[in-house]
Amino acid sequence: YWDTGDIVAICGPNNGAALAVGIWALSRQAALERGLKGKGIHIYQIYQDQLWQFGTKDKLPSLPPPNYETEAESDDPGEQSEENAEVGAGNTGTEGEAGEVTTESTDGAVAGSEGIDAAVDSVATSLEEVSISKDDILLEACYRALKTSLKKTDLPILISNFYSQHVKPCCAEPVEIKQTTFKKVGVLMKDLEKQGIIVIKEQKKGVQNITEVNFAHQSLRGVKKLEKEEEEVEEEENIAVVQAFTSNAHVTRLFSLYGHKKGDILLRKTLREHVIAYIRSHELADPADKKLVRLDPLLSTVMKTRDLTATWNQVMQKVESNCGKCYVISLPDKFPITVKGELPPIQFKVEKRTGNKKVTIISNFEVFGIEAKELAQKLQHVMSSSASVVPGLKSENVLVQGDARKLASKLLLDQYKIPRAFVASG
């Protein structure tokens, strides 16, 4: 049994002498609840560190293994070392957090045996590796993104867009989601929701949005903007899909006050800025309750409601729902493409042909700037089977021999960087 703050020694499997000393970062019960994963020990000193170099540079003594039971007590000073070593029995390999003391060794430092040297190297390496886990780097980036990058006017936002546009640029060092225990962006977002930082709602199957953020959450307090070194970094150009709105006949009266005419495209940020500006300029915010907005005739008409008041969020949602829907697709080295109405995902259809042979028909990809001939050539190389361009209902499709759903989906996600929400599941 141990508790937070108790002293602990770390020793090798064949020697009871302590290779490192520190204190427990959490209690035994808390460690078991976490499945013995995460940071377990705060390390203060390790064998052959700089503090050791300033001393007598004694060799690591050879003591009985952790499970060895001594027969009698002794006044010999070595006995005290043995008892201290037993404190760390069974703790070999526990994950911990490295302290500020470095673990560089000197040429004059000599260990008792090759086995001890190997153990020292192993402990030193492990301490450096677990000093900051990949999970912590990614969570810290999420906190930083919510505090310094994401704005209230950006909500709601797709979790995939939040991760790619806000979280990744806020990472202190490059981290891929697959390198963490989360493995998927959705799992990471669920963790933030469980902490009470964000609220996630499913717009439709497989499409999740962050709708609310608790900016006052304690995890976001004191978070500062990432200070990056000034260096030229080539950013990878990806396809970005942003939901936008069109100013139709129903809402044109409101947006014409800000220079827009019928049919103009408004990004969500621009739309919300105009609504906020209108409410403030007409002093419609309820002085008795800052969460409410008093609705004048124009807002009531735009929102299609007879209510006298509404929350800020309800005003935004109603105005957006009464606008025309469209999507703006930003392509690398090309002009953006605007698609009015719903944006259908890239579809895969498996059919059986003569001789019970399967073929896969891929459609709806040209809206993302992908040429049919180019896609067919890449799929032919990946599948090692024939792929051809065939006519479709609205545009050209690609036909691939065999069931190509899994490999084609991977190609579109990894190489073309199509957002997952717009690639149909196989």
Residue-wise pLDDT tens digits, 228-244: 544 443 445 567 788 88
Nearest to 172 by CA among 215, 229, 219: 229
Spell 344-364 as b/e; 16+ CB within 10 A means b.
Answer: ebbebeeeeeeeeeebbbbbb
Residue 262 pLDDT more than 50? yes
Name which of 84-93, 155-164, 341-350 the model is least confident about: 84-93
pLDDT > 90? residue 17: no
pLDDT tens-digit map of 156-178: 898 988 998 899 888 888 888 88
Within 8 A by CB and 6+ apart from 177, the residues are 138, 163, 183, 184, 185, 188
Q: State the average pLDDT for the chain.
A: 79
Instruction: Report the SS3 class of residue 264.
Output: coil
* CA–CA gap between residue 215 and residue 212 (Å, rounded): 9
Beta-strand relationship, 15-24 and 7-12: antiparallel
The pLDDT assigned to 95 comes to 40
Closest-CA residue to 324 (of 313, 340, 311): 340
Cα(26)–Cα(44) distance, integer angstroms = 15
Per-residue pLDDT averaged across 282-295, rounded? Answer: 91
Count of residues making up the chain:
426
159 by Cβ neighbours in 10 Å (0-12 / 13-18 / 19+) ranks as buried
Q: What percent of the chain has pLDDT over 70?
A: 81
C-alpha separations of 229 from 139, 172, 225 in Å = 21, 11, 13
Cβ–Cβ < 8 Å for 418, 346? yes
